[in-house]
Amino acid sequence: MMMKLLSNNKLMAHRVLWDLVPADAQHIALMKQTAALAIRLCEHNGMTELQAIAWVIDLKHLSQREFKNTSVGYFDNGDTLQLWEFKAIVALNLQDDFITKRYLQQWKAAEEPWLFDERWNYPLHLVDSAVMAGFGRTICLNP
C-alpha cells in the first residue's frame, strides 16, 4: 500500500512539472520520444542502432504512401508506426550528420529507464534545458 502511494505521489509530481512546461516544448519532447520509439521498433525488427537511426533520418525523404509501403517491409513482426508518428518524426527535420545521429542516440538512451514507468507518458526527460531557457523558464526536471 505504501509503495502504491509513493508511486502515485511521484506520478503526480511528475505530471505537475510536465504541465509547467510550455506547450511548444512539450510538443518537441513528444516528437523526440516518437523518434526514439521508431529506433527501438527498427531494432526490434533486426536493424542495428545505426541502421535504425539512418532509417529514421531518411523518413523525411518519403511521401506518406512510400512510408506506409516501406514500414510494412521493415516491420515484419507486427510492429507498426502510425502516420501521425511519421509526421512527428518528419517535423523534427532531422539531418544526416554526426550531431543529429548523436542526438537520436541520446534521446533513445534517455528513454530506456522510463519505458516501464507511468511517467513515460510525460517525457520531461526529453525536454532540453536550452529549450526551457528559450522560453524564459527554469524548472527542476527531477521530481
Half-sphere exposure of 134 (CA within 13 A, CB side): 9
Q: What is the pLDDT of residues 5-35, one digit of tens each?
A: 776 777 787 788 888 888 888 999 999 999 9
Phi, psi of 114 (to 5 degrees): -100, -5
- Name the CA dihedral angle for 115, 16, 18, 23, rounded to a multiple of 10 degrees: 150
pLDDT of residue 131 exceeding 80: no
C-alpha cell at 74: 521493415
7 Cβ contact partners less than 8 Å away, ≥ 6 residues apart: 118
Q: What integer pLDDT is reported at residue 56 of this predicted model? A: 95
Q: What integer pLDDT is reported at residue 143 of this predicted model? A: 40
Provide the 8-state DSSP code for 119. G
